[in-house]
Amino acid sequence: MTSSDQGAAYGFMFPDDGSIPNNPALPFLFYPRAFDLTSVGDPAAMIEAIIRSNGWGRTWRDGIYPFAHYHPRIHEALAIARGRANVRFGGAQGEEFGMETGDAAVLPAGTGHQCIDASDDLIVVGAYPPEGIYDLSLGSRAEYERAVAKIPGVKRPDTDPFFGRDGPLIREWR
């Protein structure tokens, strides 16, 4: 666990399962209760503004795909703006996390993720650092071989998407 003035992040390493490579060097970071959204009129807009202020972008609002997938050439930030979801991170050998409004996560390139179930009101805000190429892989053998070669070259971000230059990501990923 890493604590900051703004909250805590818990790091997890997931094994390569031969289909989902996960990241061999950088931990997945889970930020429980990263945001208090109880009195915020548009929580997704607030999260997007925080992410942008910390140098991340290409934000989106949606859910999380119900099938295992990963991004081998870019890191990804996720925050729950509304609702709740059970999400498996790390592929078949990973862990399931119950995420609810205000929780967030940062997935290093290669980290598998899949929504197992979610509330009808789920709104996820996602974002990416300025460096990296968005792509989506489903775990085929051909994708896996390319991903294993690409993941170590993905640049580490200069800021934590939720807490800036002094956030947990900076400490955990250096």
Query: pLDDT in tens for each of the 174 residues of the chain?
Result: 233 334 589 999 999 999 999 999 999 999 999 999 999 999 999 999 999 999 999 999 999 999 999 999 999 999 999 999 999 999 999 999 999 999 999 999 999 999 999 999 999 999 999 999 999 999 999 999 999 999 999 999 999 999 999 999 999 999
- pTM confidence score: 0.94
**Number of helices and strands in the chain (H, E):** 3, 10
- Reply yes or no on domain 2-172 having CATH 2.60.120.10: yes
134: its two tokens: 């968005």
> In this structure, how many other beta carbons lie within 10 angstroms of the beta carbon of residue 60?
11
